[in-house]
Amino acid sequence: MKKIYIMVCLAIMAGHLYGQDYLITFSGTGGSTAVDAVLVQNLTQGTSLAIQGADTLRLQATLGVPLTRKPDLQLQVYPNPVLQNATLNVHVSIASVVKITILSADGKLIYRLDKSLRQGLHSFRLNGFPTGCYIVNIESEYQSGSLAFISAGSGRTSGGLHYAGSNENFSSDIQLKSSSGIVPMQYNAGDQLLFTGSADIFATVFPFVPTASAEISFFFVEATDGDGNHYPTVAIGSKIWLARNLMTTKYTDGGAIEFPGTDNNAWLTNTSGAYAWYDNDIGNKDIYGALYNWYAVDTSILCPAGWHIPDDAEWNVLTDFLGGMDIAGGKLKETGLLHWADPNLDATNETGFTALPGGNRNGDGSFSLLGSSGNWWSATSEILGAYDRHLYNSNGSIYRQLYGMNMGFSVRCVRN
């Protein structure tokens, strides 16, 4: 009975708390059921926020200056649900005056208390709250935190909050069991969000346009290359793709991939598999990944175990799923001008693919088009070359072309 009541109460909170606000929670499946952290990106507004996996994200429609997040206060209400009385514990890292407000599920102010607290753990007594759902908001000049609690008691008053003192039995670095909080982020209806959930070696990208409160479930899949690099993944249609460009210098069997470096002739004549960093600058590795000739692609051991280079047909499936060659590219491209050159037209990244303009290494060993073009190999070849897919900053289309096998292009892998 208690479980049903809690579910109903949370549903009421999700639908009515803070008007049109949405509450987003996170869980994991596959390689991990826990979520350690979530990077939240609002692609429409160009803002981002990092939160703990146990946090609840409150997407809050606000006017004026976007909300900024202060460091978390550690909070705990126990027991929760509350029957008659409960204890609210607040761990303060920096001595300050804190403002404590308690709101009902419909946003009505129930109680407010301002209290000067020194560093350490402080306790408050909650009592007399009628049956319902409540939010405790606590804020100081330096920290803030929010926590939901449920009253299942028979209180008839509006409820009260009383300071019970500092608990000297707790150390200053205590980790409270219910330290997760409600984290606000500015949001407007229709904004495109991108969640990246991480857990241990796993990371998964999840694109989302909220229309209601929801739980985001990250499906964690291992993608580890020959160098031990771990990659985020993203599901698009019926396929799971790497969400960033490959950067390995070793095949999955442990063998080294040839690195011609500044020797342009060695790049030109290589037929066994080679890689390069754009402009021979390893500083480009972590952003754009490596550029591989098609001979490295053709080994079938370039991608992480359990993954492969997409063939021409798989690229076609992706393109068709996204509405065709005229518009699919924009749905794959990273938004903004951090990496793409102006004007980066039609970029929405609504797939979470986050295509970057890594440029290419030409057959003669020279480099070109960083910032304005991204090229990715397919596994399909003919006598005269192999097929790629490429995007430009000047439009939202995706292109297919046959190139010589000693060209250096980026690589994305797809799950077997």
Predicted local distance difference test score (pLDDT) of residue 18? 41
**Model pTM above 0.85:** no
Domain ranges of the chain: 1-63+181-220, 73-180, 224-415
CATH number for the domain whose boundaries are 73-180: 2.60.40.1930
Predicted local distance difference test score (pLDDT) of residue 138? 85
Torsion-angle region of 396 (φ positive above 0: left; ψ -120 to 50: alpha; else: beta) = alpha
What gap in Å lies between CA 404 and CA 286, rounded to an integer? 26
CATH number for the domain whose boundaries are 1-63+181-220: 2.60.40
Asked whether the beta carbons of 229 and 247 are under 8 A apart, the reply is: yes
Predicted local distance difference test score (pLDDT) of residue 175? 37
Report which secondary-structure segment, H or E, holds 60: strand 56-60
What gap in Å lies between CA 178 and CA 78, rounded to an integer? 9
The reply to whether 1-63+181-220 and 73-180 are identical in fold is yes
Task: Output the 3-class SS for 227-276.
Answer: CCCECCEEEECCEEEECCCCCCCECCCCCECECCCCCHHHHHHCCCCEEE
* Residue 9: φ, ψ to 5°: -65, -45
Q: Strands 214-220, 22-30: parallel, antiparallel or unpaired by DSSP?
A: parallel
**Residue carrying structure tokens 């606590």:** 138
Q: What is the mean pLDDT of each run of 10 residues along the chain (416 residues)?
A: 46 46 90 93 89 88 48 72 80 82 77 84 85 81 76 64 70 38 85 94 94 92 96 96 98 97 97 97 95 97 98 97 97 95 96 97 97 98 96 98 98 97
Specify the amino acid at residue 87.
T
Predicted local distance difference test score (pLDDT) of residue 99? 86
Predicted local distance difference test score (pLDDT) of residue 184? 86
Predicted local distance difference test score (pLDDT) of residue 71? 55
Predicted local distance difference test score (pLDDT) of residue 259? 98
Predicted local distance difference test score (pLDDT) of residue 180? 56
Nearest-CA neighbor of 233 among 353, 332, 321? 353
Between the CA atoms of 90, 93, 96 and 100, what dihedral angle is there, to the nearest 10 degrees?
Answer: -20
